[in-house]
Structure 1
């Protein structure tokens, strides 16, 4: 009996070991997804990933309905730029119908070997958007990033980015991200 209790306690201790998720690689699988490496913190309640869409440009659009406006983007074919999407998807209980939560940081990068360092309103030089999607009435959709900084380097078909952004319009979980994407 003592051996059984000891075995169960050891099993519980091993199962309760905290998981550190500050460094993640793209899981094996879909060949259409980008190869990436995230070197910043990703909240343990969900998953972070990076996708690079080659040969496209961001076209940001805004629809006004009275005082309320909705922003969205379209991807337009372009040989001179790529679009990068960093996303965080919070794991939720499947029983909850409206329990989803996702954040995205979207930006466009010219296809040139270069380094781009931007701050605050200059982040719009790469058309940077922040998206928040949840069942949060009046606090979802895309927002232009107007506060923060970005250090982006494009070389040898690899993009390295370090972003620190702040959105004043809505709450956000993802503020500082660092990643490399091929």
Structure 2
């Protein structure tokens, strides 16, 4: 009986309490990935910029612009750059999407006005009078899902009604281990 009691006590002391399962991944370094499924006649990149914060300020004309500062968050930056027309001045065209994510990155599923919880903004930079600048995204769906220990699936569908846009969705899995995409 004494041996059974000692065995039970040892067994109880050897048991580890269960850890709470969380869906989070860390981007401890900056990651830049070239995106394959990019619109024709352009290049797309996705960056995860660690240990920063994102702030949108307003200039003297009432236009928004992003500033990235030192901090404890991870910035998601998606860039579409259209190839400029040869021998044409001012034909540069870029669309950007910014979001500020918690670090470590946790699963997120946001809709419409909730998109501002991660400061989701769309930028259109071009020589397009009255149709360029940065705009908060308030119409769409955004989700981040941990697919495994070192991968993050990004899904975004959105529209900005104020200006025309080429990019309206992103569906990408990013490896946090290296600069590879799936």
With the length of structure 2 as denominator, give the TM-score of the two structures: 0.73
The root-mean-square deviation of aligned C-alpha atoms, in Å, is 2.1
* Deviation at residue 47 of structure 1 after TM alignment: 0.7
Structure 1: give runs of 5+ residues left out of the alignment: 1-31
Match 1:107 to one of 56, 79, 99: 99
1:90 to 58, 82, 85: 82
Does structure 2 retain, via aligned residues, the 8 Å contact 1:37–1:179? no
C-alpha distance in structure 2 between counterparts of 1:71 and 1:92, whole Å: 25
Contact map agreement 2:35 2:43 (CA 8 A) in 1: no
Question: Is the Cα contact below 8 Å between 2:38 and 2:44 reproduced in 1?
Answer: yes
Show structure 2 runs of 5+ residues with no match.
Answer: 1-28, 177-182
Equivalence map 1:24-173=2 (5 Å): 34-36=31-33, 38=35, 41-65=37-61, 69-79=62-72, 81-112=73-104, 114-153=106-145, 156=149, 158-173=151-166
Normalised to the residue count of structure 1, the TM-score between the two structures is 0.73
Matches of 1:64 and 1:147 in 2, distance apart? 27
Q: Which structure has the larger Rg?
A: 2
Give the distance between the partners of 2:121 and 2:129, measured in 1 at CA.
19
Kept in 1: contact 2:92–2:126 (CA 8 A) = yes
Work out the number of aligned pairs and report it.
146
